[in-house]
Amino acid sequence: MIYIISLAFTLCFVCYSKWQFVQDRGGVKDKWHPYGMAMRVIAVASPFVMSFFPASWQDYLLAGGVNILAWDLLINKIALNARWLHVGTRATLDVKLGKKKWWLYSFFVLICAGIKILT
């Protein structure tokens, strides 16, 4: 359940970021967008839901690794309208690592999956 909740929150966060990018170009942000409201609901309801579906620390570690990768992929495709494996020019991680960033993310997810499987 932690995977579903965390991926849903990540997707709502990325879609809300896209809405903020559009609003910053000329609109007025005077209310929360439905994605922002969905983020609030997930943040408030997830501890209650997770009490029925306990997860181990390995699950949390793997969910975090998958969400790091999912966030970067989704922010590139949905919010920035770039290609999936886009490497930016402004973020510190993008500038210092370049295309090695994707290998690092993939390696981290594989390490997390290995920890989950072996323990």
Exposure b/e, 30-62, CB count within 10 A at least 16 = b: eeebebbebbeebeeebeeeeeeeeeeeebebb
Q: What is the pLDDT of residues 39-70, one digit of tens each?
A: 999 999 999 999 999 999 999 999 999 998 89
Please provide residue 32's backbone torsions phi and psi, each rounded to the nearest 5 degrees: -80, 140
Counting Cα atoms < 13 Å in the Cβ hemisphere of 36 gives 10
Question: 80 lies in which domain range?
Answer: 2-118
Distance of CA 26 to the CA centre of its chain: 26
pLDDT in tens, 61-115: 999 999 988 988 888 888 777 778 777 767 777 777 888 888 888 999 999 999 9
Q: What is the pTM of this model?
A: 0.79
pLDDT of residue 31: 63
Hey, is 52 helix, strand or coil?
Answer: coil
Residue 59: the pLDDT is: 93
- Name the 3-class secondary structure at 58: helix
What's residue 36's pLDDT? 84
